[in-house]
Structure 1
Amino acid sequence: MPTVFKLMNDLAATLKEKAPKITVENLYRDGGFDGNIPYFFALLAEDTEIKDSNGLPSAVGFTLCSYSYSWDGRTIYMRNILVCDSHRSKGVGKLIFHAVVKYAKEIGCNRIELHVNEHNPARKFYKGMGAINAAEKEGHVYYRLYDVKNKFHAI
């Protein structure tokens, strides 16, 4: 999980967003490693030619996903794909994307959802993979509620 945490922070920096508010301990808990229901899963791309300080293959990309449900049934929500600068334009993002699609098919998902910042150049990549802009095509608007624990304390 420390690798996932580092990659999440790298992604935030790449997108010029705030650093994640979660900790490595949150990742262990929410990934189901405490025996409870996992809220997410991560797929890592590794370069076996480059070793980390422990002699293990170095992570060069990842995606963070979670399970959802929609009118179409089982759904995977793919948060982002990050490929390290050194491995961009080498097919790593496509491999990660294909791994998510393969997994979705294996577990019976009918759809993959992803939300992409309008300024993210990866939009072209997702479109090339067959993704549609649901806001344009279907009129969907994406909302988010922050700080639910504190804002809705009376509920």
Structure 2
Amino acid sequence: MRICDLITSPDPAIRNQSLESWTRNASAAALLTACSELDAFRRTCPNLYERVRALFFLYAIHRFHLPEKLAFTGHSNARGLIPFGGYEQLLHRRFAEAIESFLAVQAKEGPSDGISSALASAYYRLAMQTLADQVRRSVRTVRG
């Protein structure tokens, strides 16, 4: 089963599974592949609920599941430095740009706790910003 099935499946038995049940037996490589799939999905998905759920899945994988798997398998990049430019983008609330910066470092140097932590923060903040933007749009369309 693909991770996006947890978001898009019409079957409630699949859609309502916890992320932890899906990640429990997944390897670090499988989690990284799932993250790539979720990131591509969230970029193209027109459905707000599914897009935000994908962002929160990405946050949870990078924050809670991937670092544990990387430490266990020894695949983590020992340096784990995050790019200063990405950090600045995060501080200036340019979350999509920060994600691009962090993903570029991960692709070049391999996964690490530091990059996963930075990605988790950026995905979480992008999800919250996406929800806040939707609320603003909704409020502006209501007369009163």
Q: Same fold (TM over 0.5)?
A: no
| Greater strand fraction, Structure 1 or Structure 2 | 1
* TM-score, normalised relative to structure 2: 0.31
Structure (1/2) with the larger helix percentage: 2
